[in-house]
A = this chain, B = another copy of it.
Amino acid sequence: MDLTERKLKILQAVIADFVRTAEPVGSRTISKNYELGSPATIRNEMSDLEEMGYLTHPHTSSGRVPSEKAYRLYVNEMMSKRELSQEEKDAIAKGLYENVNELENLIERAAHVLSEITNLTAFALTPGTEQDKLKYINLLPVDEQTVVLMLVSDSGKVSNTAVRLDKPASEETLRILAKNMTYNYSGKTLSEALTIDIIKTFKEDAEAMAMFEHSIAPSFIRTLEDMLNVNLYMDGLTNIFALPEYSDINKARTFFEMVNRKSDITQKLISRDDGIMITIGGENQDEELSDCSVITATYHVDGKMVGKLGVIGPTRMKYDEVTSVVEYLTENISKAFMLPEGEDDD
């Protein structure tokens, strides 16, 4: 059987109606709102579309619902990329830069804006730092026996830990430690640094060596690990309450319990392809996601640091709109990194 012009139009109409109303759509509705023929004709065509796997029947006597195959066809072939209006773009930019002073902040805002616009659950992942190289290492005394260990990477990411020393250290010792660490670690990526042991380089200085080994090194490792971690921001979790697919409390519960496992989510996101990726229902390997669709996009910075953002929602979603927004957001974020934030304070 062939996907004739009319069949395509009917399918599109069914998808559009169903995405809007979440109700199975009947032949009369289509017939009334589109010039595609009488209800009976539509019915025949729908019956064909069902046979072809694009529509399903919740039960004999109710309207048709698009199948995942239909959404896939729509996304691949029928969806026109919806250019955002200037107002929408402005709203995004405004929301994005509001109250932002750090990269983390910007990513958090991105998740927020994304959830507000799409009315879905949005997430954003901070850039991975596998390729970041250490630039500075500093030890700053806070009091007698406490110092702050501070690492700066070449991308400007900073991370610090308060370190409790087992005995007081002279400023001199701290300076030696910091200098030696900077000398040996700078230029190395964070994960490289994790594998290098510089304890031997202190050979002449027993005090510095002991202090490094007992106090600094463990904190150093923790701080590196902390820097390597990506953060996951989520927003719009409660948006799902507005969706009829989650009017059953158990559905809602399952959803919340799933997205609450942040490390799982992070894993799943990281492993997704670059660029815009849309997975529909069962296309998600994950059982738990099998009645959700996920749209993600990747933002790049200087061609090296990458992070992801996207939305998760029911398979019934406005794929065109969400895709456009997600794409526009990544462009904006990449741009923001080029010209660091906060300069043109309007």
Residues of A with Cβ closer than 8 Å to B? 101-103, 135-136, 138, 140, 142-143, 146, 148, 150, 152, 154, 156, 158, 160-162, 164, 166, 218-219, 222-223, 226, 237-238, 241, 247-249, 252-253, 256-257, 260, 340-343, 345
Determine whether the beta carbon of A158 is less than 8 Å from that of B150. Answer: yes
A24 to chain B, nearest CB (A): 22
Determine whether the beta carbon of A156 is less than 8 Å from that of B162. Answer: yes
Determine whether the beta carbon of B241 is less than 8 Å from that of A260. Answer: no
Determine whether the beta carbon of A101 is less than 8 Å from that of B219. Answer: yes
The complex is assembled from copies of this chain, and their number is 2
| Cross-chain contact of A260 among B161, B223, B238, B257 (Cβ < 8 A) | B238
Determine whether the beta carbon of A342 is less than 8 Å from that of B135. Answer: no
A106 to chain B, nearest CB (A): 11
In the complex, 10 of the A-B residue pairs with CB atoms within 8 angstroms, ordered by the A residue number, are A140-B152, A143-B154, A143-B156, A150-B158, A156-B162, A164-B342, A218-B345, A241-B249, A241-B253, A252-B252
Q: Which of A156, A226, A252, A340 has the most CB of B within 10 A?
A: A156
Query: How long is the Cα–Cα vector from A143 to B154 in the complex, in angstroms?
Result: 8
Question: Across the interface, which residues of B come within 8 angstroms of A223, CB to CB?
Answer: 101
Determine whether the beta carbon of A260 is less than 8 Å from that of B237. Answer: yes
